[in-house]
Amino acid sequence: MTVESTAARKARRSAGSKTGDTGTPGGTGTEAAGTTGTAGPKRTSSTTGAKRAPRVARAPRKDAEPQLVQLLTPEGERVRNAEFDPYVAGVTPEELRGLYRDMVLTRRFDAEATALQRQGELGLWASLLGQEAAQIGSGRATREDDYVFPTYREHGVAWCRGVDPTNLLGMFRGVNNGGWDPNSNNFHLYTIVIGSQALHATGYAMGITMDGADSAVLAYFGDGASSQGDVMEAFNYAAVYNAPVIFFCQNNQWAISESNEKQTRVPLYRRAEGFGFPGVRVDGNDVLASLAVTRWALERARRGEGPALIEAFTYRMGAHTTSDDPSRYRHDDERIAWEAKDPILRLRRHLEAAHHTDEGFFAELEAESEALGKRVREVVRAMPDPDRFALFEHAYADGHALVDEERAQFAAYQASFADTEAEGV
């Protein structure tokens, strides 16, 4: 297994000698194998029952770097992993090409949205550049009856759920505050207040249990959100009720301008241990590993084994949003280092080395990609402003006397301009 050098974040040295070791609670140096709540994925066949410490969610030894599940190196080489290989053993070359296509099209859509913001067609855009593998890998692990609760950056997951990407742009253009039917693709509205959706996801998962269904829920959030009380409450509710919810944290290293050191003193995946469920750190730039780990978590949730935390270690290649200026808080060489680990490039290398693709595939994808960009551009430019009375619509489901009264006043006020307009003044 290749562990990337930047994967482990050392504790701040300035914080004193004791706190320099965030990896070993108690500092005993001994670790119980198979500790409850930190169980790794179910091992297949003969290895079951072997007395071996699980490889996930385990406190690393002093100075050890956190484990990182990786199935494809940045060079595109397949790394063997006894625990997680079974979850992608059946992935065909066609499916690999599908994952590649998903990532390329998602990136193309994202680039188009950034451009549309620059052209004044969108008020804001939150780019997912660099996080395609984490999103496509996890999104493709879901079943149709599963439910996804995104932040505002899960454009790749929305793609996997079959949400028309142009639907995502309404809120960024300012024509609505969400605007798609969450139940048509089991993809909830984007949530802007950080971490709130983790509780919604947990509640939804509690409902699945009450219904006796075997669906599961995927709750997305980021490294910044891991500091929110709601996220920690969600962890706890999910654990207490053994709810089938997977907490998928994309650790993209930056919460606007604040790095991981400002959010946490332990690797995020290890938070799970304290709540009583397993946590795994996966290479979030590795689509195959993200797929495998999410499948593992979803399968155990379906079996009634409760929640899991996946920390997808990745990097926000762009700004937080189009309003942000990362040059004020991070060096470009950091971004350049992560460019070498690009999620799309590594799968392309893998596909090419395995002779799973030919030039025709890439050419066709390029054409499809440009067609998507063109369609998105055209749809956004044609997206009309809402009717002014829409501001009163849906404030309540069952109506409200004050809303009715104010709508009528607003209508009368608007109507007072009719004469002026008729006179062409």
Question: What are the residues binding other proteins (CB under 8 A)?
Answer: 176-183, 188-189, 191, 193, 196, 198-208, 210-211, 229-230, 233-234, 236-237, 240, 393-398, 400-403
Greatest distance between any 2 Cα atoms in the chain: 88
Q: Which is nearer to other proteins, 161 or 188 (CB)?
A: 188
- Asked if 320 is an active-site residue, the reply is yes
* Nearest one of 92, 71, 321, 97 to 190, comparing CA atoms: 321
Query: What is the closest distance, in whole angstroms, from the C-beta atom of residue 238 to other proteins in the complex?
Result: 9
Q: Which is nearer to other proteins, 237 or 277 (CB)?
A: 237
Q: Which residue has the tokens 């608007």?
A: 414
Neighbours of 62 (CB within 10 A): 11
> Which one from 155, 316, 346, 350 is the annotated catalytic residue?
316
> Which one from 271, 320, 346, 350 is the annotated catalytic residue?
320
Q: Which is nearer to other proteins, 191 or 285 (CB)?
A: 191
Query: What is the closest distance, in whole angstroms, from the C-beta atom of residue 301 to other proteins in the complex?
Result: 15
> Which one from 12, 52, 118, 329 is the annotated catalytic residue?
329
Q: Which is nearer to other proteins, 27 or 229 (CB)?
A: 229
Q: What is the DSSP letter of 81?
A: -
CB 37 within 8 A of CB 273: yes
- Asked if 413 is an active-site residue, the reply is no
For 176-200, give one letter per residue: b (16+ CB within 10 A) or e.
eeeebeeeebbbbbbbeebbbbbbb
Q: What are the phi and psi torsion angles at 366 (to 5°)?
A: -60, -40
DSSP output for 325-355: -GGGTS-HHHHHHHHTT-HHHHHHHHHHHTT
Query: What is the closest distance, in whole angstroms, from the C-beta atom of residue 104 to other proteins in the complex?
Result: 30
Distance CA 338, CA 229 (A): 30
CA angle 256, 341, 9 (to 5 degrees): 55
Query: What is the closest distance, in whole angstroms, from the C-beta atom of residue 303 to other proteins in the complex?
Result: 19
Query: What is the closest distance, in whole angstroms, from the C-beta atom of residue 304 to other proteins in the complex?
Result: 14
Q: Which is nearer to other proteins, 236 or 357 (CB)?
A: 236
User: Coil, helix or strand for 29?
Assistant: coil
Q: Which is nearer to other proteins, 44 or 409 (CB)?
A: 409
User: Coil, helix or strand for 311?
Assistant: strand
* Nearest one of 61, 77, 80 to 69, comparing CA atoms: 80
Query: What is the closest distance, in whole angstroms, from the C-beta atom of residue 400 to other proteins in the complex?
Result: 5
Torsion of CA 302, 67, 141, 231, to 10 degrees: 70
Q: Which is nearer to other proteins, 100 or 180 (CB)?
A: 180
Query: What is the closest distance, in whole angstroms, from the C-beta atom of residue 307 to other proteins in the complex?
Result: 13
Q: Spell out the SS3 assignment of 82-142.
A: CCCHHHCCCCCHHHHHHHHHHHHHHHHHHHHHHHHHHCCCCCCCCCCCCCHHHHHHHHCCC
Pairing assessment for the beta strands 217-222 and 245-251 based on DSSP bridges: parallel
Distance CA 76, CA 151 (A): 29
Bridge partners of 248? Answer: 220, 310
Q: Which is nearer to other proteins, 33 or 213 (CB)?
A: 213
Distance CA 310, CA 281 (A): 6
Q: Which residues contact 327 (CB under 8 A, 6 or more apart)?
A: none
Positive or negative, the CA dihedral 57, 342, 146, 207 is: positive
Query: What is the closest distance, in whole angstroms, from the C-beta atom of residue 387 to other proteins in the complex?
Result: 12
Query: What is the closest distance, in whole angstroms, from the C-beta atom of residue 37 to other proteins in the complex?
Result: 16
State CA 254 to chain mean position distance.
14
Q: Which is nearer to other proteins, 27 or 212 (CB)?
A: 212
- Asked if 200 is an active-site residue, the reply is no
Among all residues, which ones are annotated catalytic?
316, 320, 329
